[in-house]
Structure 1
Amino acid sequence: MFAKILKVLLLLLGGLFIVLQGMTFQIEGAAVSALILVLLTVLYCGWTANKSRYFFWFLVLYTTGHVLSYSAWYGPDLYEDDIDYFYYIANMLFILAYIFLILKILIQLDYRAVFSKLSIPIFILIVLDVFCVSIVTETTEGVLGFYEYTLEYTYNAIIMALLSVALINYMYRNDIKSMMFLMGSICIVFSEIIQLAYFYVMEDKILGFIYSFFLVVAFIFFYRQSQLEFTGPEPDYSDNQLEA
């Protein structure tokens, strides 16, 4: 019963977060997002039958990063040439969180089967990842310093790697869990790209609504897949499967 109440509360808070970010209430939005992630971690730890330590550490690190981002609003004022430690530490925590999410998938793959069936798609994805990361990160060129730009490039590379691993995992397994993980990863990538445009190109309310919406949807998919078990690899869909 408590778990159901917690899920409803999380959905309501998710809606509130989207509204706050869209209305540019950054401090309030940061507070709500940190609260959401804390409650989601509690929900996962308390009411998940088969827990994944990799997904657990993803939640813990991502939550800690958001708590630090919220704390930054109450930190000391920064002046020119000051180092924003909150920015660096929070983003490094996000990177580590996504790495744990990637490892969650990689440790469960049969690499011999994956490379024998998907070697060409893997090569294409690597080329596309390098191209996309370079194009996306260039939007911050001239705005960020060298170290900030390097961190941003690494962050975007990890995000694209997550999407590629999720796609390969779905192509290999072809089941509901891998599909939900892929959908969550797609939403994360959309959210991060739009958030980049929001902060460094054009601070528009519509972009605030969109990137926060994709972030909330991403975590809905991630939580839903965490409640399922892999059933693949499954055979590809065909009309023959419909025969009686």
Structure 2
Amino acid sequence: MQFTKFNIVSVLLVILAVVIMAGRIFNCPQLSNYAWIGVFPLLTYLYYCHAKGQNNYFGFFLIAFSIVEFLKIIFDNSNALAYYAANCLNIVAYASLIIFLVKGIKLKRLFKEFKLHLIILLIFNAYIIYVLNQMIMQDEDLAVNSIDFIIEVTYNVLILLVLSLSLIHYLYHDTKQGLLLFLASVCIVFSEMVQVAYLFISSEQLLHISYSVLMGLGFYFLYVYIKIKHIETNETPKQVE
């Protein structure tokens, strides 16, 4: 097997995943956290340097997520400016992913073929947003209509939109890449919901581990998505000049 740059980076990602899991198992959070920082830049590199048909909205999502994880781990929420910068950047990152998911979808066909799906998703999202807001309001220090509350609510609405639109994206296009994006969205969104429970209700270690596992699975599906686009790049026949 030819040992390409893509394969080398893939091996590095596996090593980082092992280090992260070892840190969780042996209760070495700093080891896991610093290994976690390296995952997202490597995924971004694979996407921009080795995938076919890059989309800047999806690429910005990866870049923004890389910066957010760096800010969250380096400053550990101890710096107010870094905290607000990370949350606002997270919101922009998910908004960028939403734009990526809806590009190419024609509303006329969408409402004609997926009307029932849209109604069910609307009801589901309304319920989940209500539940998440109730979880957030468990924090007595978080005042309703404060900047922190608005950020949290906006964040929750966006991650649910990502989940719903990734499903619509998959149903609309019916491709393997669409399925991978949907599975990645499911894992990432549910990891964010677990994190809300961890931050505002209970700081049980199991919740933190569940968050890490779900987020890791989400980005594994994104890696497979990028890998498929990389294979497409290699299989594209070269034009004869």
TM range (shorter): 0.7 to 0.9
Task: Output the TM-score relative to the length of structure 1.
Answer: 0.83
CA distance in 2, matches of 1:109, 1:227: 24
Task: Output the TM-score relative to the length of structure 2.
Answer: 0.83
Matches within 5 A, 1:85-164: 85-143=81-139, 144-145=142-143, 146-164=146-164
Residue matched to 1:37: 40
Q: Is the 8 A contact 1:18 1:212 kept in 2?
A: no
Q: Is the 8 A contact 1:183 1:221 kept in 2?
A: yes
1:17 aligns with 2:20: yes
Once the two structures are superposed, residues 65-84 of structure 1 have per-residue CA deviations (whole angstroms, 9 ceiling, x without a partner) of 111112313966xxxxxxx2
Moved over 6 A (4+): none
Letter matched to residue 209 of structure 1: I
1:62 aligns with 2:58: no
Letter matched to residue 10 of structure 1: L
CA distance in 2, matches of 1:22, 1:149: 33
Q: Which moved more, 1:54-63 or 1:127-136?
A: 127-136
Instruction: Give identity over the alignment, percent.
Output: 25
Structure 2 unaligned segments of length 5 or more: list them. 230-241
3-state SS of 2:12 partner = helix
Q: Is the 8 A contact 2:138 2:200 kept in 1?
A: no
Deviation at 1:165, TM superposition (A): 0.3
Deviation at 1:30, TM superposition (A): 3.2
Letter matched to residue 136 of structure 1: L
Letter matched to residue 220 of structure 1: Y
CA distance in 1, matches of 2:116, 2:159: 21
Report the CA distance shift for 1:53/1:18 in structure 2 as closer, same or farther (over 3 A).
same
CA distance in 2, matches of 1:112, 1:167: 17
Once the two structures are superposed, residues 17-61 of structure 1 have per-residue CA deviations (whole angstroms, 9 ceiling, x without a partner) of 244356664444332222211222122222113211111111111
Once the two structures are superposed, residues 197-233 of structure 1 have per-residue CA deviations (whole angstroms, 9 ceiling, x without a partner) of 222222222222211011011011123224446xxxx
Report the CA distance shift for 1:142/1:66 in structure 2 as closer, same or farther (over 3 A).
same
Structure 1 unaligned segments of length 5 or more: list them. 77-83, 230-244
CA distance in 2, matches of 1:159, 1:12: 29
Q: Is the 8 A contact 1:24 1:205 kept in 2?
A: no
Residue matched to 1:46: 49
Report the CA distance shift for 1:117/1:200 in structure 2 as closer, same or farther (over 3 A).
same
Report the CA distance shift for 1:15/1:191 in structure 2 as closer, same or farther (over 3 A).
farther
Residue matched to 1:72: 75
Residue matched to 2:234: none
Matches within 5 A, 1:165-204: 165-204=165-204
Q: Is the 8 A contact 1:194 1:210 kept in 2?
A: yes
CA distance in 1, matches of 2:151, 2:31: 26
What is the aligned-residue RMSD (CA, Å)? 2.1
Q: Is the 8 A contact 2:61 2:97 kept in 1?
A: yes
Deviation at 1:196, TM superposition (A): 1.5
